[in-house]
Amino acid sequence: MKIKMQNKLNKEDILHILNATDNEIINYMLKTVQYRENHLITYSKNVFIPLTEICRNDCGYCNFKKKSDDPEAIILKTKQEVLESLKEAEKYGCKEALFTFGEDADKEEVVKLKLAEYGYEKMIDYIIDICQMTLDETSLLPHTNGGNFSFDDLKRLKEVNASLGLMLENTSNRLMELPAHNKSPGKNPKLRLETISNAGKLKIPYTTGILIGIGETKEEIAESLIAIRDLYDKYGHIQEVIIQNFTPIPGIEMENWPEPSFLDMIKTVIAGTLLFGDTDVSIQVPPNLNNETAQIFLLCGADDWGGVSPVSRDYVNITSPWPGINELKKLTIDAGFKLTERLCIYEKYINSEWLNDNLLKKASNLSKHQ
């Protein structure tokens, strides 16, 4: 939680931070301290459920996507499989059901066939029923992250999700020509910005963020952060911004690609913190991607660890297991902060302006027992 700043940063300000050296970095780090209202660091206890690992995109850094002929690929989980995972998560006190799936997976024949077998034509219809089942039969709140959606599909998803998410990653069209995105039409920044903008028009609490280390320039990082800030200023729906670092994994196209430096991450987190310093938007850094350095980011202004699961792995970053809750608590306390659990929807959005009656009642009840 942050208190108000006087002036919003512009692109030149952000570039100063991203290019800072020596004592400049320390001075910027110290600036982030004055914008903290408290020493609370939040996380969401979730269960990560990939409905399908089939995806139309083929990102150079991705380990999530599987080929349809891969015998180990999740083609499409059944409702019963999903419900079993949800019930197991309930036993561990999880409150968020994170549903992920490859973008436009239902354009692949193998997924179409599975959907037809389950009585569905489109993936959007299936995920909406999955989310409704979650609300009806469990205590968890759905949070869906499945790529770009049309305005109409977002409108339907809003009725059965407490929040939604989509990583902007970067606003640069140039990256569409590099290994990161040259085989991924869904990573077109225009499409991503349109989806996030439509979520704002529909008043959907939203999670987004940037991915650094995939070939972008510092100017493109600055432009991407500002694009997110502009969307927040217009709609007020961005509840958290993720600063995520590319991590090479054996077998991916970019396995020999250099990952961003620790210093790059420090300066980007500082820039994000100061850019959003006059808002209550959280800055999140995934702890499992930064096991040995995670605490430093708290000193740079990050105030959220994101979703952490006691029951499921991170299917997107399979070589980077989540820390246990007790380990996360120790990391947080050692840095001088206090760990506290949150829902997948932040407190300021738990009202009738953002949620329908059913979601509001459920989120309010869960919030009271946090």
* Residues 153-175: tens digit of each pLDDT: 999 999 999 999 999 999 999 99
When pLDDT is cut at 50, 70 and 90, the band that residue 126 belongs to is very high
Spatial contact of 20 and 14, defined as CB atoms under 8 Å apart: no
* Stretch 349-358: mean pLDDT: 98
Half-sphere exposure (Cβ direction) of 5: Cα atoms closer than 13 Å: 20
Which domains are present in the chain?
11-368 (3.20.20.70)
pLDDT score for 266: 97
> What does pTM read for this prediction?
0.95
59 is an annotated ligand-binding site residue: yes
| Residue 317: pLDDT band with limits 50, 70, 90 | low
What is the band of 1 on the pLDDT scale with cuts at 50, 70, 90? Answer: very low
Say whether pLDDT at 128 is over 70.
yes
User: What is the Cα–Cα distance from 286 to 302, expressed in whole angstroms?
Assistant: 10
**Residue 243 pLDDT:** 98
109-118, 210-219, 249-258, 348-357: lowest mean pLDDT where?
249-258
**CB 353, CB 345: distance < 8 Å:** no
| H or E element at residue 40 | strand 40-52
- Which is nearest to 259 in space by CA: 293, 229, 284? 293
**321 pLDDT tier (thresholds 50, 70, 90):** low
Give the Cα separation of 302 and 320 in Å (integer): 20
Rounded to whole angstroms, how far apart are CA atoms 216 and 176? 11
Q: Which residues contact 189 (CB under 8 A, 6 or more apart)?
A: 168, 169, 170, 171, 172, 173
Structural contact between residues 349 and 205, judged by C-beta atoms closer than 8 angstroms: yes
Q: Is 62 annotated as a binding residue?
A: yes
Distance (Å, rounded) from C-alpha 51 to C-alpha 355?
Answer: 24
**Residue 94, annotated as binding a ligand:** no
- Percent of the chain topping pLDDT 70: 95
Tell me the backbone φ, ψ of residue 249, rounded to 5 degrees. Answer: -130, 135
| Cα–Cα separations (whole angstroms), residue 137 to 1, 82, 83, 92, 126 | 33, 11, 8, 16, 16
Average pLDDT over residues 29-47: 91
